[in-house]
Structure 1
Amino acid sequence: MNAPGFESSILGSKEHWDWVYARELASFREIGDEGEVWFGEDSVDKMVRWAAEHVPSSDGPMILEIGSGNGALLFSLVEQDYSPERLCGIDYSSDAVELAKNIAQQRGAQDVAFHTCDFLIQDPPPILQEQESSGCIDSWDLLLDKGTYDAIALGDKDELGRLPVFQYPSRAGRLIKPGGFLLITSCNFTEEELRNNLTTPESGLMYHSSIKYPSFTFGGQSGAKYSSVAFQKANK
């Protein structure tokens, strides 16, 4: 896990995200506000377009979002004809899950599954009978992550001084079908860092492609505001 200079932050704590989503859930119930779309609509659109090209809805893929928040990314997939009953979002904040379920009801997308689940220590529950025997291990065609990797990287270090995100590659890799994909969008890691961090022997992931964002120059250095990188799990 290559994250020089990263220290634990409130943004990496469950308490912070519980507070955020308790507030957003209350706002939704009061005025119908669906809450913030992390990284903005443009990042959602780019991720959906990538999925449409590489994991098309016509193939009936099983898709899991890690840290789904208010469900905005999954609802965008539903709008692009992905089967809602084959989509699942997990979040370790129960209020985030409740918010997403409420929005799903309002949007007529109640067949999208949302579950409270801590990705680093729990596996998502099966959402279809075809997953029952595997318990969701090795059964997803596409994993999506929009900002969750960033938040995990800001968590508390363990007794060996490791950031909790060191577990991420192996946890992600074990859920993906051979030949399946992980698409991750980050604001804290460059494409090179994501490639170095996630293509490990434990994950079985290989670099596949990346999504381009407008670049900017500051202090003589050029870069993009976000990095979106796709990885593919090797076939057995």
Structure 2
Amino acid sequence: MDLTPSRLGSKEHWDDVYDRELANFEETGDEGEIWFGTQAVDKMVKWALEHVPPSQSPQTLEIGTGNGTLLLALIEAGYDPASLCGIDYSAGAVRLARVVAAADEQNTGITFAECDFLTQDPPQIEWDLVLDKGTFDAIALGEKEEDGTSPAARYPSRLARLLKPGAVFLITSCNFTEDELRAAFEGAGLTYYSRIQHRTMTFGGKTGSSVSSVAFNKPASY
């Protein structure tokens, strides 16, 4: 989890990105970059349909929602907009997500809120399903704490407290392997639940994937 700090881990960077993307959307209707691409979104939605389907009416939170693409895809798959919430520490991202969502009437009821996950609580405290597509990666690129640790070290325990007993967390990452994700979140008391298979590649005699998606469960006895 000890990555070199980068501009990609700064709030200023993401504020600039989403201010530009909001201006572009208002001018051209382009919703902006889809982090990890549409294939990663499709795989996460398919996983949710199989493991936490709309019939269960799961209260769902996305940490670092960006332009809201993942939550909007869940609505297309049959999830109730009123049960979905996306948070982001960038006010520009929240404005963009709201505008993109408002362009389609079926998204009425979805909640987007400005919230710094490491220091603030989202609109409600307990969730059935929590999603992360690249936010843990970005946090890990932030400036080190005073004691030299990564700000991402605070993420797993804050995440665990938001899950209802028996609830599930699904994370997609490009900076961390499956083993590294398991070490981080199992260390916070969560248990491994399942994984999503992504396209693999072979280099130097080793086979792996550039993206890892892993799901964790909060034990009922947590």
* Fold agreement, TM-score > 0.5: yes
> Which residue of 189, 192, 205 maps to 2:179?
192
The equivalent residue for 1:17 is 14
Shift of 1:114: 0.1
Distance 1:69 1:199 in 2: 26
Flag structure 2 segments of 5+ consecutive residues without an equivalent.
none
Flag structure 1 segments of 5+ consecutive residues without an equivalent.
126-135
3-state DSSP class of the match of 2:103? helix
Distance 1:197 1:166 in 2: 8
Shift of 1:111: 1.0
The equivalent residue for 1:77 is 74
Preserved CA contact (<8 Å) 1:101 1:110: no
RMSD of aligned C-alpha atoms? 0.8
Shift of 1:110: 2.8
Matches within 5 A, 1:25-174: 25-108=22-105, 109-125=107-123, 136-137=124-125, 139-174=126-161
Distance 1:215 1:95 in 2: 34
> Which ranges of 4 or more aligned residues in structure 1 deviate by more than 6 Å?
none
Distance 1:152 1:205 in 2: 20
Distance 1:18 1:220 in 2: 41
Distance 1:86 1:110 in 2: 11
Preserved CA contact (<8 Å) 1:182 1:231: yes
Distance 2:210 2:40 in 1: 11
Size of the aligned set, in residue pairs, is 220
3-state DSSP class of the match of 1:173? helix
Aligned-pair identity in percent equals 58
Can you list the C-alpha shifts for 1:165-193, whole angstroms capped at 9, x where unaligned? 00001110000000001000000100000
